[in-house]
Amino acid sequence: MNRLPRLTALLGAALAVAGCAGSDSQDTGGEITVFAAASLKSTFAELGTQFEETNPGTRVRFNFAGSSDLVAQLTQGAPADVFASADEPNMVKAVDAGLVDGEPVTFATNTLTIVTPPDNPKDVASFADLAEPGTSVVVCAPQVPCGSATERVAEAAGVALSPVSEESSVTDVLGKITSGQADAGLVYVTDAKVAGDQVTAIPFPESGDAVNTYPMAVLDGAANAELAQQFVDLVTGPTGGQVLAEAGFAAP
């Protein structure tokens, strides 16, 4: 007479164990916030989507801006898990401020190109042409990686530029050109590629004097350090390398 209750109890215990095992095998997910240079927007958005699909239940939030602005936000206490800079000096600032956990890893390089509206109204054909009177030129501000690269190129070329505007990110420079507010601008080759037929891209040999190296790192105090490291591994691994190469980035 006691067998049925005992069997019921055993069955209930077995189901409870199976339920626990099932819950352990499921991905509990999580969320990370990635602070990334504006020039990484399209590639990181794609990689973020891939990361979420590979890790069900996870979410990747992005904050894209000029690298110097991102460092300023981080030093002021903005919460984030990963920082990807468009140059090494801004990553050094983050390291010196005690914001980085471990060693940053470089994952890409980028160079500048000239962009003009599609019809190239001033017939710009070289870097020197940017200094011609009457040519309105837009560049990044000196503290931004693309602005620092612009200064290095101008010095190497012996050309003095008189920009009509200095922008806080490379995407802002691109916006000035695609909206027809300037005759020419200096952006990364990757940004010109994203813009497609909205601009005319004019490569110039002096760009080789200012190659920007991109490092990234997990941040100290990351809310989800393990998941953050997995995202860094994706970007720096074969999948990330392929996506970056297709966007026009070169290997470090």
What are the binding residues for molybdate? 39, 67, 170, 188
Half-sphere exposure of 161 (CA within 13 A, CB side): 28
Backbone angles phi, psi at 28, to 5 degrees: -75, -10
Half-sphere exposure of 14 (CA within 13 A, CB side): 6
Query: Which residues pair with residue 213 across a beta bridge?
Result: 109
Sheet arrangement for strand 137-140: 165-167, 137-140, 184-188, 112-116, 200-202
CA 65 to chain centre: 9
Give CA–CA dist 52/165, Å, rounded: 38
The residue to which tokens 């206490």 are assigned: 77
Contact 167, 140 (CB under 8 A): yes
DSSP state of 249: P
Tokens in use for 63? 């904050």
Residues making up the annotated binding site are 39, 67, 170, 188
Give CA–CA dist 58/35, Å, rounded: 17
CA 251 to chain centre: 15
The secondary element (H helix, E strand) that includes residue 167 is strand 165-167
Length, in residues, of the chain = 252
Backbone angles phi, psi at 22, to 5 degrees: -65, -40
